[in-house]
Structure 1
Amino acid sequence: MKVLCLHGKGTSGAIFRSQTASFRARLSDKNIEFDFLDGPFKSDPAAGVDLFYEPPYYAWWDSGDVESVRAACLWLNEYIAMNGPYDAALMFSQGCVLGSSALLLHQEETPHLPPPFKTAIFVCGGVSMNMLQELGFHVSAEAHERDSASRTALEKQAGVSAVLTQGVNRWTGITGGLSEDELRNEIQSPYCVDIPTVHIYGSKDPRYAAGVHLSSVCNPDKRRTYNHGGGHEIPRTTEVSSSIAQLTEWALASIDV
């Protein structure tokens, strides 16, 4: 099995390798090759990342508009054509936006061709609201407002000052009180990503709603979700690592051969 690994903005393939080491160690007896690549754009470090990891840092685009995301998807598809095929994609944060956009564009434009990967594992991710609207999805005003507010809150809660003064207690999320089903109903989908998907998010992550929104555009009969209970991170506790490893195994076992 070959897994493409897409890091978050302001990190790198090497950093993502480190962030996923705990749960990947539980898969060491499986025949899985993880391919960690770097985004094509140099970037400032993500909030708080430079406290723990040295540069360089990368991003998948330098602007989040639709054309930039489309260009990144084209870049990704070219990389896959040269280095794939890939059975799965493992993604974090901005990497999830890239991977979900590539899958949605495939569904819209080339559904007769194989998807860029056969299963997807999204961690603390979201979907491009602008891309959804470009593709004919209905996104509520509340979802747009929540998405914007969550990005501001993430910068604050993940930042150096919060890390140094509050530690793990910095993660407070955004109080909203909506259920996962209510959040999913904020996006109306004309079609959905139709491969097996895993959606991992934390209820204390300011981007929690974004992770739930992403799950809403994926086939509910082929998706699994897991709330790790933390912030915008991949907790390395035994319980969380074991759960993510099990979900990864499920995703790979669900591939249509």
Structure 2
Amino acid sequence: MPKILCLHGHGTSAAIFKSQTAAFRAKLDSSFVFDFVDAPFPSRGAPGINAIYKSDTYTWWPQPTSQAIRASHSWVADYAREQGGYDAVCCFSQGCSLAASMALYRAVDAATVPAKGDKSNEPLPFRAAIFICGGVPLPVLEHMGLEVPLRAHEINQRTGQLLNGTAGRLNDMAKNVKLIKRGVGLWDSGKGDLMHDPKARPELSDVFGLDFTRFPTAARISIPTVHIYGSKDPRWPAGIQLAEFCDDRLEYDHGGGHDIPRTTEVSDKIADMIKQVMSQIQSPTEERKERKGSGIWA
């Protein structure tokens, strides 16, 4: 029985993420168990989210500092330990930043400070990851000692502004339906401002400001991963950066924006990729035996 931990994005919630993923989860059989959890900090709703959902909203960290992000890792690790561990993590946006940075820190810590005997050396509480509209926080990379040029910071800031501006239009549309045009989607409105060409994959020496040829070999995510992003998403560059950190990955561009389209085609594809990545990891039965024997998740 595959058990998957689900981490929502900033300014949303477990209930919202459950709704956002309903279409592709419906394509999976009942053996898949998805555990949706609220982040620990209350927050304002993400731009545009209140136009669709009326619920409390949360964030994984109030400020994107390396200290706050590492604290979120401990929170998730403790929660997973209490729940018996997970076969995979499925995450969106900020949730991806949490899971990806957690995996990178564990890899770098294991390579640089072996056998510390503290929680930084515990295995990850998941064996695979499904990243949706994700990215890696740049402060995390700098804290690890990786070079993050000014250009990478500028692109990150600009794409964040574009995302907030486009998503925020949902509130305007909810107040004035005349702004809604037939055949023109939310993410079509800002295509001319995007800082990327989805048909042109950048060279490893310059992935939107990051030079992967200069990064240490330890700074890698080795677990099987799925990367789902949209070519109209202003944050597409961050999704590509995250993908380039992963050694064993599947990628899919659904053609939309910073969201999860609910069309049959997209839902079928995402479900198929989840089944494929789950087939790559050890069977849940064997994994549970190992957890019980190690005592890590007791």
Paired with 1:253 and 1:74, the residues of 2 have a C-alpha distance of 28
Larger radius of gyration: 2
Looking at structure 1, the residues matched to 231 and 68 of structure 2 have their Cα atoms a distance apart, in angstroms, of 30
User: Which amino acid is the alignment partner of residue 134 of structure 1?
Assistant: H
Stretch of structure 1 that moved more, 65-74 or 107-116? 107-116
Measured on the aligned residues, the alpha-carbon RMSD in Å equals 1.8
Residue in structure 2 matched with residue 197 of structure 1 by the alignment:
225
Report the counterpart of residue 123 of structure 2 in structure 1. 114
Are 1:95 and 2:95 matched, yes or no? yes
Counterpart residue identity of residue 226, structure 2: V
The code of the aligned residue for 2:202 comes to D
**Which residue is equivalent to 1:139?**
148
- Determine the structure 1 residue equivalent to 2:253: 227
The secondary structure found in structure 2 opposite 1:122 is strand
Query: Where in structure 2 are the equivalents of 1:163-178 lying within 5 Å?
Result: 163-164=173-174, 165-166=179-180, 167-168=185-186, 169-170=188-189, 172=191, 174-177=194-197
Q: 1:39 aligned to 2:9?
A: no
In the superposition, relative to structure 1, how do residues 149 and 116 fare at CA in structure 2: closer, same or farther (>3 Å)?
same
Contact 1:171 1:205 in 2 (8 A): no
| Contact 1:8 1:94 (C-alpha < 8 Å) held by counterparts | yes
Conserved 8 A contact 2:9-2:93: yes
Name the aligned partner's letter for residue 8 of structure 2: H
TM-score (norm 1): 0.92
CA distance in structure 2 between the aligned counterparts of 1:181 and 1:76, rounded to whole angstroms: 33
For 2:127, what is the secondary structure of its paired residue?
strand
Q: Which amino acid aligns with 1:34?
A: F
The code of the aligned residue for 1:62 comes to P
Q: 1: distance between equivalents of 2:251 and 2:165?
A: 26
SS in 2 for 1:118: coil
String of CA shifts for 1:190-230, please: whole Å, max 9, x gaps.
220110001111010010000001111111xx101110110
Aligned equivalents of 1:213 and 1:163: distance in 2?
Answer: 32
Could you tell me which residue of structure 2 aligns to residue 214 of structure 1?
A: 242
**8 A Cα contact 1:184 1:215, kept in partner:** no
Q: Indicate the larger mover: 172-181 or 210-219.
A: 172-181
> Could you give the per-residue CA deviations for residues 50-95 of structure 1, whole angstroms, max 9, x where no partner exists?
0111120010011111111111111111111111310000000000
Bigger mean CA deviation after superposition, 5-14 or 128-137: 128-137
CA distance in 2 between counterparts of 1:53 and 1:63 reads 24
2:268 aligned partner: 242
Identify unmatched segments of 5+ residues in structure 1: none
- Given that 1:103 and 1:116 are in contact with CA atoms closer than 8 Å, whether structure 2 keeps it comes out as no
User: CA offset at residue 30 of structure 1?
Assistant: 4.7
Q: For the residues of structure 1 that align with 2:136 and 2:3, how far apart are their CA atoms?
A: 24
Q: For residue 181 of structure 1, what is the aligned residue in structure 2?
A: 202
Deviation at 1:143, TM superposition (A): 2.1
Shift of 1:231: 0.5
Q: Is the 8 A contact 2:131 2:228 kept in 1?
A: yes
The structure where strand makes up a greater share of residues is: 1
Letter matched to residue 181 of structure 1:
P
Which ranges in structure 2 are unaligned for 5 or more consecutive residues? 112-120, 284-298
Q: Is the 8 A contact 1:187 1:216 kept in 2?
A: no
- Separation in structure 2 between the aligned mates of residue 138 and residue 30 of structure 1, nearest angstrom: 44
Q: Which one-letter code corresponds to 1:170 in the other structure?
A: S
